[in-house]
Chain A
Amino acid sequence: MKVSKEEILHIAKLANLNLKEEEIDTYLLHLQDILNFANIVNNAPVEGLKETIGTNKNYNVFRKDEIINFEDNEALLANAPEKERNMFKIPKVIQ
């Protein structure tokens, strides 16, 4: 499958990444290269095979509905680039 410049820009937008004009061609080339290789999966003899969901056979792994308070609340906010009144501060978002 051929990837267009518009597509890669759309994808970068979904991923919240900026691509500089001069980088786009390199990213496009690399992505195309890798996708061409990855396309092998479309030739694999997988007729009738189910998709693997989960690497092991674990199922119904549940937790009891019991409260455990995290012991170091302060540390959870210690890495914040900007905070105010114990909240993470960001530029104004209009909802």
Chain B
Amino acid sequence: MEITELTVHELKEKLANKELTITEITKAYADRIEEKEKGIGAFVTILKEDAMKKAQEIEEKVKANEIKGDLAGIPIGIKDNICTKGIATTCSSKMLENFVSPYDATVMEKVNNENMINLGKLNMDEFAMGGSTEYSAFHVTKNPWNLNKVPGGSSGGVAAAVAAGMVPWALGSDTGGSIRQPASFCGVVGMKPTYGLVSRYGLVAFASSLDQIGPITKDVEDCAMLLNVITGHDEKDSTSENREKVDYTLSLKNDVKGMKIGIPKEFYGEGISEEVKQKLEEAIQKYKELGAEVEEFSLDIANYALATYYIIACAEASSNLGRFDGIRYGYRTPNYENLKDIYKNSRTEAFGDEVKRRIILGTYVLSSGYYDAYYKKAQQVRTLVQAKFDEAFSKYDVILTPTAPTTAFNIGEKKANPLEMYLADICTVSVNIAGLPGISIPCGLDKEGMPIGMQLIGQKFSEETLLNAAYTFEQAVKFRKNYKPEFKNI
């Protein structure tokens, strides 16, 4: 038995019946990171020694009955845009290369309250802007299924670390697909919760009205468990929803009989690879076999949503990233004589091209003369997208689409063409635009042996329905049992 191949619910069981100890588990992960990180490059900061020390502390406290909780001593990885007190939080940017957060994000407080062990901070596209993790200022993360392919992004380090068994599970963030798309590319489970379900306090903002923290895990049960940890109302986040806490693990019924699944035909059209379509067809077939009622319908919003997404996300980002001015923290240029130089040179030298591109686009769409044509229009389209989804959810419990139009592409393949990279977000962004929950789970491999993900979308706060639908499919196809990343290098 490889410890690092176990899911968290399996680890939990083995901890409970004393087959494994907390230090054994942490040691196994530390060794795995040692072995695999060189080839993958999933981490920005590895906390190996900290983690081992903490594992021993927690182990002793558990023995002494000083702490309880079934997740005590379970390791975790954290995307590097989630603030961790006393630990560098870089957003994979030169701007924050040496930034140490003075406070913990709310989700980190929750993780720490469970006495989980942080194994390290995971690589991403700079400030979460990108879909391949190639825009990290530090290094490119490789896809564990094929080291020449991207892991997706922006939570590429997160998905790669989970897929490679370097962390048992991890937290990512999703603004336009940044959890689901890398989960799809790396053959793991990734969920973007309903906007407001998880506190954004301490998540370095990319686009405030779209960002949401969520789990990337090996399977759906782990996803439900981690969702249990991070959800809940937070007074520090005005957009946090004040709802009663739910135990998501109770929703995993392994039964979709009578569930109504909508298939929006526009999400299966032009630009979607044949192999992706084919595996999705098989998934649809599987759901039918499992007793779900499946129906095709029209949801003609994908292009509008994508255009809207880039307008809104960039507009908000251009404002959110204004605080990186070289005064209170972050990179300050050595080349300055006056304040203006500090602003301009610090920002120009420390932001990568993609971040600058989006700041410029965002500044443009908000600037006088263009606000009405772009930003204001986009906010109206947002209302339209929400209305179309509402209409769909009056008929269906869940909507099933591909997570991404293709499987993971080659490193370097799209980096030169930003628009092409943006178009790859076509299946995921509308979920953020409407503030809905979405989950990506693997549904097969393509001919090259790369994972294909399918996306289930639900109405607001229907996480339980989504998790059950995903779980039932997972139990039926047993992807994890059949396929494993092989760290190929071809």
Contacts and interface: CB of A to CB of B under 8 A. Distances in A.
Interface of A: 1, 3, 7-8, 11-12, 14-18, 27, 30-31, 33-35, 37-42, 44-46, 49-56, 58, 61, 63, 72, 75-76, 78-82, 88, 90-93
Given A15-B360, A61-B238, A72-B102, A46 B351 contact: no
B357 A40 contact: no
A35 to B, nearest CB: 8
The B interface, classified by DSSP as helix, strand, loop or mixed, is helix
Contacts of A58: 196, 238-241
A41 B338 contact: no
Contacts of B196: 55-56, 58
B377 A46 contact: yes
A51 B344 contact: no
Given A17-B344, A34-B419, A41 B359 contact: no
Contacts, number: 169
A37 B460 CA distance: 29
B374 A17 contact: no
Given A15-B360, A80-B328, A46 B307 contact: no
Contact of B336 (A18, A39, A55, A91): A91
Given A56-B435, A75-B103, 14 more contacts: A1-B370, A3-B364, A16-B344, A33-B419, A34-B418, A37-B310, A38-B307, A42-B373, A49-B384, A49-B387, A58-B241, A75-B85, A80-B328, A92-B338
What interface size band does chain B fall in? 35 or more
A15 B360 CA distance: 7
Residue among A15, A34, A37, A45 facing the most chain B CB atoms (10 A cut-off): A15
A88 B327 contact: yes
Nearest to A33: B419
A80 B99 CA distance: 9
9 contacts: A31-B357, A34-B418, A34-B419, A44-B304, A55-B239, A61-B239, A72-B103, A76-B102, A79-B99
